[in-house]
Amino acid sequence: MSEKEWFEEWFDTRYYHILYQNRNEEEAEIFISNLSEYLELPAGSKVLDLACGKGRHSFTLNRLGYEVLGVDLSENSIQEAKKSSTSNLSFAVHDMRELVPNTTFDAVFNLFTSFGYFTEKGDNERVCLAISQMLRPGGKLVIDFMNADKVIQSLIESETKTLDGILFRINRKYNGSHVVKRIQIEDRGEMYEYSERVQALKLDDLRALLVPYFEIDAVFGSFDLNPFVLEKSDRLIIIASRKL
């Protein structure tokens, strides 16, 4: 492609990591521990952290005894994650629409709304097909997505933040299909602008994408794995098994 997609450009900047530097690491660790307990994967299971960023979920998965591969399209994020590589924790630059070659997994984790980024809706189907082909029969898929209904209802249209001396002006809107975030940055007199565009996929949308390849095992609405409630839950977490 001649022009980069928004996620290729934005996720590979240092400003992305500055803006989101205060993510709750303890909360992420508790979430992964809850998932591990629910899934009951045997020790040594081979898992894929799909769209892993700098690897925060990968690290916890590895500490719980799994062999982990974390992949992400951001070269800068993967370079940072690779500093923590071990014999059973590795990272690679990878497009989630494609197969990781010559390997299969017991489980695939796609966490923190790392889905629905693409302009073409057919790309969502490519992701689901690739995941199904990388999973062993009966293997588990976990998708942790925003609860689009609640996000749209509670959208904060504009806010300003100063982090590390850098000014971020953030504007949000729902355009009928995507939640769009416009990020204007002022840093040492220089101005930059980036965007985020995530498809406002709801439970029925994700079900329709998954059912050709997966059986839906459970749907949760929080990192504590509480039941999903349409207008109240913070998250939409789907656990599914690859069809035999």
* CATH code, domain with 102: 3.40.50.150
In a domain, 219, yes or no: yes
pLDDT digits (tens, 9 = 90+) for 147-206: 999 999 999 999 999 999 999 999 999 999 999 999 999 999 999 999 999 999 999 999
- The Cα 228–Cα 210 span in angstroms is 18
* pLDDT classification of 21: cutoffs 50, 70, 90: confident
Structural domain including 14 reads 6-147+201-242
Q: Which pTM does this prediction carry? A: 0.95
Average pLDDT over residues 122-142: 97
Residue 115 and residue 185 share a domain: no
Residue 238 and residue 123 share a domain: yes
Alpha helices (H) along the chain: 6-10, 14-19, 25-39, 56-63, 75-81, 122-134, 148-153, 203-210
In a domain, 190, yes or no: yes
**What pLDDT does 22 receive?**
82
Q: How many domains does the chain have?
A: 2
**What pLDDT does 23 receive?**
78
In a domain, 46, yes or no: yes
Residue 87 and residue 64 share a domain: yes
- pLDDT above 70 covers what percent of the chain? 99
Q: Which residue has the tokens 């984790």?
A: 109
pLDDT digits (tens, 9 = 90+) for 205-230: 999 999 999 999 999 999 999 999 99
